[in-house]
Amino acid sequence: TELALDLAEAGVALDGTRTLRLSGRPIALAELKRVLGQAVARRPEQAVTLSADKALAYGEVAELLDAVRSAGIRKVGLEVRRK
Q: What is the pLDDT of residue 78?
A: 85
pLDDT exceeds 80 at position 20: yes
Question: What 3-state class would DSSP assign to 60?
Answer: helix
Residue 35 has pLDDT above 80, yes or no: yes
Going by the DSSP 8-state scheme, the letter that residue 73 receives in this structure is -
Residue 8: its pLDDT value, please? 63
State the helix-helix crossing angle for 29-42 and 58-70, rounded to 10 degrees. Answer: 40
How, if at all, do strands 9-14 and 20-22 pair?
Answer: antiparallel
Report the distance separating Cα 43 and Cα 23, nearest Å.
Answer: 17
Report the predicted TM-score, pTM, of the whole model to 2 decimal places: 0.83
